[in-house]
Amino acid sequence: MSQEDLLKKMSNVPEPTLRRLPWYLSNAKLLKQRGERYVSSTQISKEINIDSSQIAKDLSYVHISGRTRVGYEIDQLIDVLEDFLGFTKIHKAFLFGVGNLGGALLQDSGLSQFGLEIVAAFDINPLLVGTRMNGIPIYSTDEFEQRLAECQVQIGVLTVPIEIAQQITDRMVQGGLRAIWNFTPFRIRVPEEIVVQNTSLYAHLALMFNRLTAYNQSE
């Protein structure tokens, strides 16, 4: 599927559905590991606690329909979901800031299973520059524009200290990156056409604490 077709398809899909589809994919992979060949929406529903009619509706967006009684063929379900979610296509990315978090992301080979390949990282620490982590080269941030000219990269992963999050963002955008996966808790500002995904680990903590407190008080 071309990038354009994929975008067209995905833009018709409600965001909550897009958030749930990867759960169905992980569940299908788990069932495959257990040696299953077919799965019904009722079975998925029991495993991940989502209403089975919602699952059937979500899956109808990816144009896969189950067979009566047996359900969905697991291999097909995995292929269709991976393709639809863009996980079969490799998206190249640069990472900025090889601290604890950035380093952990470089070490995480699982990202490529979801279509993300970090091809290079940038830092200012002379102890890191010129080395490799998990085979990925770490360059000086000064080299960013030059390295970008050498390879087709559209995504920047942001794991620098919060004080320079905006500065590095501006530089990424100026250089021509089109999407930023922001792991800092800073709300970065970008032009309208730039895609931002905020994934600060800390952002949801307050929510969790708040619910936990409410739960404890209700006991």
DSSP code for 90: P
Least gap, CB of 69 to ligand ATP (angstroms): 50
Nearer to ligand ATP, 72 or 96 (CB): 96
The single residue among 13, 111, 119, 124 that binds ligand ATP, judged by CB under 6 A, is 124
Nearest to 156 by CA among 91, 82, 209: 91
What region does 68 belong to: left with phi over 0, alpha with psi -120 to 50, or beta? beta
Nearer to ligand ATP, 40 or 169 (CB): 169
- Counting contacts by CB under 6 A, is residue 164 touching ligand ATP? yes
The single residue among 80, 102, 155, 165 that binds ligand ATP, judged by CB under 6 A, is 102
Least gap, CB of 1 to ligand ATP (angstroms): 35
The single residue among 3, 53, 112, 125 that binds ligand ATP, judged by CB under 6 A, is 125
DSSP string of 26-75?
HHHHHHHHTT--EE-HHHHHHHHT--HHHHHHHHHHTT--PBTTTBEEHH
Stretch that binds ligand ATP, among 4-12, 77-85, 93-101, 186-194 (CB under 6 A): 93-101
- Counting contacts by CB under 6 A, is residue 186 touching ligand ATP? no
**Contact indicator for 95, 121 with CB cutoff of 8 Å:** yes
For 211, the enclosing helix (H) or strand (E) is helix 205-218
Which residues lie near ligand ATP (CB under 6 A)? 96-102, 122-125, 141, 159-161, 164, 168
